[in-house]
Amino acid sequence: MLKTILIGSVGSSKVFLEEMIKLNFPVQMVFSLDEKFSEGVSGYEPIHKVAEKNGLPFKKFHKINRQENIDIIKEIGPDYIFVIGLSQMIPKEIIDLAKVGVVGFHPTPLPKFRGRAALVWQILLGIHDSKCTLFLINEGMDSGDILAQEPYTISDTDYVEDVRMKLQKAIVKLADKVLGQILDGTVNPIKQNENEATYLLVRRPEDGRIDWNKPIKEIHCLIRATSHPYPGAFGMYDGNHKIIVWKADILKNDKYIGIPGQVCKVTDEYFDVLCVDGILRVYDFENMDNVKIVVGHKLK
């Protein structure tokens, strides 16, 4: 009998688990990141609730590489371990416990864009046609053999949450394809071409700071890429008060003369910020210090 384990913590983990259940794919254990340790995990999902609802064994965890978790995996003796939507590195000790392999998920067309913050980076880079990948995890960074890929698109108006929704639809198709191949024994791993590999470096919340001297399309792109569930793009009002911009529109400027970052209009629903080549209308934002936004003042 095929034995498998799923380890996950976010929306893609939930979608993948739901597809496993829908296909009656055998799952002996679900490892779900404990809610207590979910702070800072963008798009966290308590997948143990899905497991519990469907009568699957589950264990909440903090660090997957702790001995108590390794012991459980060792006792099950899985053929496959699926690691879907987890930012923690999987140690060699766990990789070696899977009789066939450890399957990972990455939202890019590997070997291109290995690494961190893949959706954010792809929006910032202006990528329109992308693919998500299921691959065999090894000790490298997203460098194992590819099992399958599924395309999805990113438009110039998509916020990162829009892309996440498109990605989840692609995950369903990808899961159906690979899980079916595993069940009928037709899996055909393909080695990645190392010469084509590129790497996305980690992003920090401070990288969302808006440079108001940049073209307005670049500013808008940063806002779209880092919006919910990520930390957000932000400006410092009067240099001291953080205002996170969750959503904004680009408007033509034929009226205001001023300095980039200067507030040029304020209403109860929005405020407008002057940019070098247009006006940014901010209509969904978080005023961290609840300061009064006044025309003429600057976001720095």
Contacts of 165 by beta carbon, 8 Å cutoff, 6+ apart: none
pTM of the model: 0.93
pLDDT for 5: 98
Nearest to 102 by CA among 112, 110, 90: 90
Say whether 225 sits in a helix, a strand or coil. helix
**How many whole angstroms separate alpha carbon 82 and alpha carbon 20?**
11
**One-character DSSP codes across 134-173:** EEE--SSSS-SPEEEEEEEE--TT--HHHHHHHHHHHHHH
Contacts of 242 by beta carbon, 8 Å cutoff, 6+ apart: 234, 235, 236, 288, 289
**How many whole angstroms separate alpha carbon 250 and alpha carbon 92?**
48
pLDDT tens track of the chain, all 300 residues? 899 999 999 999 999 999 999 999 999 999 999 999 998 888 899 999 999 999 999 999 999 999 999 999 999 999 999 999 998 989 999 999 999 999 999 999 999 999 999 999 999 999 999 999 999 999 889 999 999 999 999 999 999 999 999 999 999 999 999 999 999 999 999 999 999 999 999 999 999 999 999 999 999 999 999 999 999 999 999 999 999 999 999 999 999 999 999 999 999 999 999 999 999 999 999 999 999 999 999 999
